[in-house]
Amino acid sequence: MPHPDAAATTAADYADWWRGAVIYQVYPRSFQDTTGDGYGDLSGVTQRLPYIASLGVDGIWLSPFFTSPMADMGYDVSDYCNVDPMFGTLADFDALIAEAHRLELKVIIDQVISHTSDQHPWFKDSRASRTNSKADWYVWANPKPDGTAPNNWLSVFGGPAWEWDGVRKQYYMHNFLTSQPDLNFHNAEVQDALLETVRFWLERGVDGFRLDTVNYYFHDKLLRDNPPHAPDSDSAGLDAPDVNPYGMQSHIHDKTQVENIAFLQRFRALLNEYEGRMTVGEVGDGARSLETVAAYTSNDDKLNMCYTFDLLGPEFTAKHIRDAVDGFDKAVTDGWVCWAFSNHDVVRHLTRFAEGVEEQARVAKLAFSVLATLRGSICLYQGEELALTEADLAFEDLRDPYGIRFWPAFKGRDGCRTPMVWETGQASAGFTTAEKPWLPVPYAHAMLAADGQERKPDSVLNHYRAVLKFRGQHAMLRDGDMAFLETQQDLLAFTRTKNDQSLLFVFNLTREPMEYLVPSGLKVGEVLQMPGFAPHFEGGVAKLDALDVFCARLA
């Protein structure tokens, strides 16, 4: 059964359960090890599902667990319909699904279909000759007369997006690692095969799919060069660091092609054969991201929702958040958004937002209070509910090919992927019994272990639970309207409304006390205390301390 303090309304109460849902992202290799090999596994996720349910979330998103040589930590798939032995077996996955559903948690899995591993049987067949049945399943092209690559396209992970293959005597395209060849979505047989792998997981009971790099599926058939990056017209997109020349191009030909619309409609048609299934797409398209999201979520026949990288950067200001939400609302008229401050690809948001150790707990509480009150669905990344910061790792500890490639200018993504911390005083904080986990467990993280925070009513962990309980008790926070209010200071103020019920929120994201005069057109009926905050209200004025929250029910 769900935790007794779970949200008053859950995903089960909504036909479109994903709309306004709270999703907890699990990075399986860093969540819980049950075999003692130093790597997390699916049985470990199952073991910890009651903890996840106790937060009051609606579901989980599992990062890839498919069979893979792990060149890119599982985002290089060699078998879409099986579990990598590192993570367990299909029986372990079925057990996870059963336990999640018993706890009324939805399960979303990562679908990485823009590319495969070069160890996938499809690619092995494709590279064998130019005439076999899968010869056209990947993006192959002849060299220019001087032997150079077919065009100027670049890889997100550095260098050209083309790799020479001596067997076929052609180049193949890879948007990411050279060991991650891109599938040729212009081939209908490729689309058919991929959709069958999706059906495989639908039949096993998954509730949804997070579509990795969803705008990277198609390429320009004519292989035209990308033009140079024009300021304010496009950007790197997939969080490519500025040390990477990828951002020097405007990526109008190597991704985000119009043909993707029809494929996403095919994907949705498949999901519609099953009840209550959903999709959320990852869109990294620079300045065009909102335009792309609008196209991919319109008319209720493609993706259910998307997320962009707007709130995954360094800014935590009222203006930035308002601009991001306003920008989405103006560009995406009939779609839905999924907001997040952290995930497995970016520096943890507490490191990005907090100015010093002494304010980390308060910033963690404030940031989550903001996220939980925005209009949209939200994703939490494992460990943020414990106030984990980015781990500072030595070069010899890195496993991320992205970080290794660009060290020391860019440290990569391992710092946000270190193991979860469960038990105070235990080796590796209870993550594993192995002598050495796959990534180190920082001492500062171990001091924030979940069991210690369970016992402290004012801990960040218990704050997350309280805020999600608050969110569940107010229907307008799940799918109600949102309207920003003008402020004279650096405050974030808005209302959330559903039917005839409205809440007012004011967030002081600064390090100075602030006052907010409630507009004359609004009447405060009841001051509501947001968990963890206690501002004063007198004479129509809310008095907020630094990093503070005011909430009221409007009459």
Q: Which residues are catalytic?
A: 212, 273
The Cα–Cα gap between 506 and 530 comes to 11
Cβ atoms within 10 Å, residue 443? 8
Using H for helix, E for strand and C for coil, what is the string for 156-172? CCCCECEEEECCCCEEE
Q: Enter the DSSP assignment of 71.
A: T
The Cα–Cα gap between 151 and 161 comes to 9
For residue 412, what are its two tokens?
């990569």
The Cα–Cα gap between 171 and 263 comes to 25
The vertex-44 CA angle with 38 and 50, nearest 5°, equals 145
231 CB burial (10 A radius; 0-12, 13-18, 19+): exposed
CB 156 within 8 A of CB 148: no
Exposure string over 185-199, b if 16+ CB within 10 A, otherwise e: bbbeebbebbbebbe
Using H for helix, E for strand and C for coil, what is the string for 139-157? CEECCCCCCCCCCCCECCC
Sequence letter at residue 96: L
The vertex-50 CA angle with 48 and 56, nearest 5°, equals 120
